[in-house]
Amino acid sequence: MNITGNTIFVPGATSGIGLALALRLKSRGNTVIIGGRRTSLLAELAEAHGFETVRIDTADAASIAEATADVVGRFPDLNVLVAMAGIMRPEDWTTPGFLADAEETVVTNLLGPIRLIDAFVPHLRERPGATIVTVSSGLAHTPLRFTPTYNATKAAIHQLSESIRMQLAPIGIQVTELVPPAVRTALMPGHESADHAMPLDAYVDEVMTLLEADPEAREVLVEQVKLLRYAEVRGDYDQIVGVLNAAEERVR
């Protein structure tokens, strides 16, 4: 995608990477509509930064349908969807009780983007410069012991992105996968100040630089995530899994 002149919907932009990216994109001349469940935060962000907003719960099919109709109706020029919303929950598979978190993770992180993309493709296929940005993780490629279902949903998002890219290219929709490394956000307790995680501003600055340098990018890979993304290819997978999990142990 070109990083200017778009109308962009970011469900999952009330905090963290989504909000930081929405701010950067707005400052580069895009119209940005932010979405999330926390309506008071949406109102505050609209007031503070001039964002357009929509309430959306991406774990709820009816809410996705309602928000899509609202956004497309109000912003017929919309040409970019950034499927940002996600959750990350620690799970202990050695004891009962993790299943509710696992199910919620699948519904939010995998079914949510699938439903969102399904809802927006009919509109996007009519728009010039149409782009869908998916959001996976370095953990799609190198797993964290504490978050099995999260890792699995992000690996699924990677494969989904690789597959639908081939289907959607002929109808004029680009698919770009954002692959963040650990970034200092509220996604997991302790992550906002974790030493091994990238500062949020540094992460989104590098993302903007990469998008600007290569508007056709299939994956947006900041330097720090390449350690995880290419561990298997380099042949140091076991070592990187060890280093990654030791770093997380220190946070927990």
> Would you tell me which residues interact with ligand NAP (CB under 6 A)?
11-18, 36-38, 41, 56-59, 84-88, 108, 135, 137, 180, 182-183, 185-187, 191, 197
* DSSP per residue, 109-156: IIIHHHHHHHHHHHHHTTSTTEEEEEE--GGGTS--TT-HHHHHHHHH
Cβ closest to ligand NAP, residue 147 vs residue 174:
147
Burial of 34-44, coded b for 16+ CB within 10 Å and e otherwise, reads bbbbeeebbee
Shortest spacing between CB 110 and ligand NAP, in angstroms: 11
Cβ closest to ligand NAP, residue 127 vs residue 184:
184
Shortest spacing between CB 226 and ligand NAP, in angstroms: 14
- Give the H/E segment covering residue 36: strand 31-36
What is the rounded CA–CA span in Å between residue 219 and residue 30? 21
Cβ closest to ligand NAP, residue 22 vs residue 124:
22
Cβ closest to ligand NAP, residue 129 vs residue 145:
145
Residue 141's CB is within 10 A of a number of other CB atoms, namely: 23
Tokens representing 110 are: 């995998």
| DSSP code of residue 5 | S
State the residue number with the nearest CB to ligand NAP. Answer: 16
163 contact partners, CB below 8 Å, separation of at least 6: none
Residue 228 C-beta-side C-alpha neighbours within 13 Å = 27
Shortest spacing between CB 172 and ligand NAP, in angstroms: 26
Shortest spacing between CB 103 and ligand NAP, in angstroms: 13
Cβ closest to ligand NAP, residue 57 vs residue 219:
57
Shortest spacing between CB 149 and ligand NAP, in angstroms: 12
Cβ closest to ligand NAP, residue 129 vs residue 196:
196
